[in-house]
Amino acid sequence: MNLIGNIIWLVFGGFIVFLEYMISGLILCATIIGIPFGLQCFKIGILALFPFGQQVREVPASTGCLSTLFNIAWIFLGGIWIALTHLFFGIILAITIIGLPFAKQHFKLMSLSFTPFGKEVY
């Protein structure tokens, strides 16, 4: 079931979202200050490529309060808009029964894109 869901996801926009995250990550990695944020874009992009069968979980913060500060900066520098976009598409897809699995994936992407630091995809 995960394979079919991932194929449908790719055909109907998942690959485009993946490319957007990868391009954003490359642009952010062009500066030394943006490297941590670019790496988070890569992490979200890989989840956006094949979201079915993957989970997001909190990891013990080995960086202390640094991940909290980075999450706050991420939210104010665009994370809120990314999360709201995934929320919007998740609500739209949740209207139909067929769209429910895809809505669930958008909600998963929303939680990761709102605060990506201190989370891992497995």
* 76-99 pLDDT per residue, tens: 988 999 999 999 999 999 999 999
d(CA 84, CA 102): 16
- At residue 64, the pLDDT reads 72
Domain range annotation of the chain:
2-121
- At residue 114, the pLDDT reads 93
Beta bridge mates, 58: 119
Specify the DSSP element, H or E, that contains 16: helix 15-28
Mean pLDDT of the residues in the chain? 91
- At residue 1, the pLDDT reads 78
